[in-house]
């Protein structure tokens, strides 16, 4: 079945179709184009997507949205970025799906993925979500444009690093349920304080459909600020957290060998379930997931089962048995993103691991923290000591402050970049060790994770090449 016909695309965008064609997917990155996709040739500051039109068709594109005529099937528009947004609006207008929007300083991607798993388990093939971390001014409309007309549940992640950005995104998504997972000092370089970050995250409620539900972390120090932001737009406000005063709370959360056993009190039910992904932060994420499923009348049992089956995501908690010598080390892959709150949470998780060897933390610097960056990095020393970290490999110039705080307290090495970190791997990790890899994505520690995952330190391959 087609996702869009040429006539539908032309009607949505106000463009002119060169002829009849149909597409089954949408992409604006020519490297992601697959058979029968629609390629949208966006013009950016650094490059022009029209340069990659031929490549998109060579990969199987069925048509393109362009602002310059081409000799292949296309929709001609004046502005391809405006056309992408118009296609997103049309996708949202034609669906009868229940739409859930997710934002937060931490946990939004995991929560989005867990929601998708819950709805897809209950109604296979009828749930849709934004992929990867497509959560910005181009990623959100792309994710909407990819939503099939017969979708029953749509889940969209929305991010920001400046005030006003979420307000625009949420009015495009028009969620029936809007979740704020947590507030933390991420992107502090662009905000005067954490309250301003909370205000920016609270913009998600401005796009709520009439009678919609706002879901807010009860345990957050910014709870009342978020409630105030939601009140003018939400038909109901639901809080979640560990405190019994929350509308949805965990009566018990017991760490098990394979995850966490949780007994939760919801508004309409009580549910006992297992979360496969370890860590207290996942208990919070799970409560937000259940709050959203309950708010749209979804299947809570299916949601509980989905949480039990959902392992960590690549770059966000994936656990890997990495070959080392004649054995293996536990590799905790948190390489996609980092801020002070998520760093502390994952270091705590590392400290809870039962290991035969050492606990090793390979930490990349945290970006976009502004003038408080040194203080935020220094503050990681105490969680590292509490986690009984045996050795730390610190990556990036901003880690200098943490290196100074760790002198005489923990064995460590401080290196300038990911390549230097990879050069330090031989002899660092042994069988039975637990290794946490976490840092801002721009540091590039994903390469290091792949290196270890692929057996760079396995027997007979100890010499690490870069």
Which class does domain 318-458 fall in? alpha beta
Return the number of other C-beta atoms located less than 10 Å from residue 57's C-beta. 20
| Percentage with pLDDT > 90 across the chain | 84
pLDDT value at residue 377: 97
Structure token digits, residue 463:
């010499």
pLDDT value at residue 313: 79
**pLDDT averaged over every residue in the chain:** 94
| CATH number, domain 95-309, options 3.30.360.10, 1.20.1250.20, 3.30.70.20, 3.40.1190.10 | 3.40.1190.10
pLDDT value at residue 464: 44
Of 15-29, 183-197, 428-442, which gets the smallest average pLDDT?
A: 183-197
pLDDT value at residue 465: 40
Query: 3-class SS at 87?
Result: helix
| Percentage with pLDDT > 70 across the chain | 98
For the chain, the structural domain boundaries read: 4-80, 95-309, 318-458
Span 395-422, average pLDDT: 96
pLDDT value at residue 46: 83
Span 349-372, average pLDDT: 92
Span 27-50, average pLDDT: 94
Angle between helices 80-94 and 6-13 (to 10 degrees): 110
Span 114-143, average pLDDT: 94
pLDDT value at residue 461: 58
pLDDT value at residue 336: 87
Q: Which residues are bridge partners to 332 per DSSP?
A: 319, 436
Span 74-90, average pLDDT: 98
Structure token digits, residue 303:
């949601």
State pLDDT tens for residues 17-38.
999 999 999 999 999 999 999 9
434 pLDDT band, cuts 50/70/90, is very high
Return the number of other C-beta atoms located less than 10 Å from residue 411's C-beta. 11
Q: In sequence order, which residues have a C-beta less than 8 Å from that of residue 258 and are 6 or more positions away?
A: 274, 276
Protein fold of 4-80: 3.40.1390
280 pLDDT band, cuts 50/70/90, is confident
The pTM of the full predicted model, rounded to 2 decimals, is: 0.86
Q: In sequence order, which residues have a C-beta less than 8 Å from that of residue 343 and are 6 or more positions away?
A: 363, 366, 380, 383, 438
Span 348-357, average pLDDT: 91
The answer to whether residue 281 scores a pLDDT higher than 50 is yes
Query: At residue 391, what are phi and psi to the nearest 5 degrees?
Result: -155, 140
């Amino acid at each position: 079945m087609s996702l869009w016909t040429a006539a539908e695309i032309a009607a949505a965008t106000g463009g002119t179709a060169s002829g009849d064609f149909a597409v089954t997917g949408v992409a604006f990155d020519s490297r992601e184009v697959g058979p029968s996709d629609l390629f949208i040739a966006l013009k950016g500051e650094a490059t022009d997507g029209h340069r990659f039109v031929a490549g998109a068709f060579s990969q199987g594109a069925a048509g393109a949205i362009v602002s310059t005529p081409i000799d292949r099937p296309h929709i001609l528009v004046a502005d391809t970025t405006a056309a992408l947004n118009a296609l997103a609006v049309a996708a949202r207008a034609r669906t009868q799906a229940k739409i859930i929007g997710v934002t937060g300083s931490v946990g939004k991607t995991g929560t989005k993925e867990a929601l998708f798993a819950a709805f897809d388990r209950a109604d296979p093939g009828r749930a849709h979500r934004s992929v990867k971390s497509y959560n910005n001014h181009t990623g959100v409309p792309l994710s909407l444009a990819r939503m099939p007309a017969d979708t029953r549940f749509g889940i969209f992640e929305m991010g920001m690093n400046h005030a006003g950005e979420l307000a625009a995104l949420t009015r495009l998504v028009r969620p029936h349920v809007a979740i704020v997972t947590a507030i933390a000092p991420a992107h502090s370089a662009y905000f005067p304080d954490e309250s301003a970050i909370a205000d920016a995250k609270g913009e998600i409620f401005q796009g709520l459909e009439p009678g919609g539900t706002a879901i807010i972390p009860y345990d957050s120090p910014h709870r009342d600020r978020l409630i105030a932001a939601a009140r003018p737009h939400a038909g109901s406000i639901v809080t979640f957290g560990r405190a019994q005063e929350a509308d949805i709370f965990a009566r018990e959360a017991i760490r098990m060998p394979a995850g966490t056993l949780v007994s939760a009190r919801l508004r309409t039910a009580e549910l006992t379930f297992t979360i496969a992904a370890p860590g207290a932060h996942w208990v919070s994420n799970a409560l937000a997931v259940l709050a959203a499923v309950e708010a749209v009348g979804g299947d809570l049992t299916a949601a509980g089962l989905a949480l039990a089956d959902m392992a960590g995501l690549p770059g966000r908690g994936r656990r890997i048995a990495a070959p080392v010598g004649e054995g293996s080390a536990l590799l905790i892959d948190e390489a996609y993103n980092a801020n002070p709150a998520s760093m502390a949470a994952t270091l705590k998780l590392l400290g809870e691991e039962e290991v035969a060897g050492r606990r090793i933390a390979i930490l990349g610097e945290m970006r976009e923290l502004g003038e408080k960056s040194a203080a935020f990095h220094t503050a990681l020393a105490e969680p590292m000591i509490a986690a009984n970290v045996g050795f730390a490999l610190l990556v990036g110039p901003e880690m200098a402050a943490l290196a100074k705080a760790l002198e005489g307290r923990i064995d460590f090495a401080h290196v300038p970049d990911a390549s230097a970190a990879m050069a330090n791997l031989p002899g660092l990790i042994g069988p039975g060790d637990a290794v946490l890899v976490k840092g801002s994505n721009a540091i590039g520690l994903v390469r290091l994770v792949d290196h270890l995952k692929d057996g760079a330190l396995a027997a007979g391959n100890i010499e690490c090449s870069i």
